[in-house]
Amino acid sequence: MIILRLDRVMADRKMSLNELSEKVGVSNVNLSKLKTGKVSAIRFSTLDAICKALNCQPGDILEYTSED
């Protein structure tokens, strides 16, 4: 199972959803879905833009855990 940690990274960087939305060019609604883990896919271009805006690595945002 993949867990999204976008909320944690945003909090660490003290960046609001609105600010990230402006920097990334993705709507607040879509970023909110990412933040709450209510998505089943993410485009690499979106992940790239988020990582640039937050100065982080994809592994900071995505975490794998076994379903056991």
What global pTM score does this model have?
A: 0.89
Report the distance separating Cα 18 and Cα 52, nearest Å. Answer: 16
pLDDT tens, residue order, the chain (68 aa):
889 999 999 999 999 999 999 999 999 999 999 988 899 899 999 999 999 999 999 999 999 999 76
For residue 8, what pLDDT is reported? 95
Q: Do residues 21 and 27 make contact, with C-beta atoms less than 8 angstroms apart?
A: yes
Report the distance separating Cα 68 and Cα 66, nearest Å. Answer: 5
Domains parsed from the chain with CATH numbers: 2-60 (1.10.260.40)
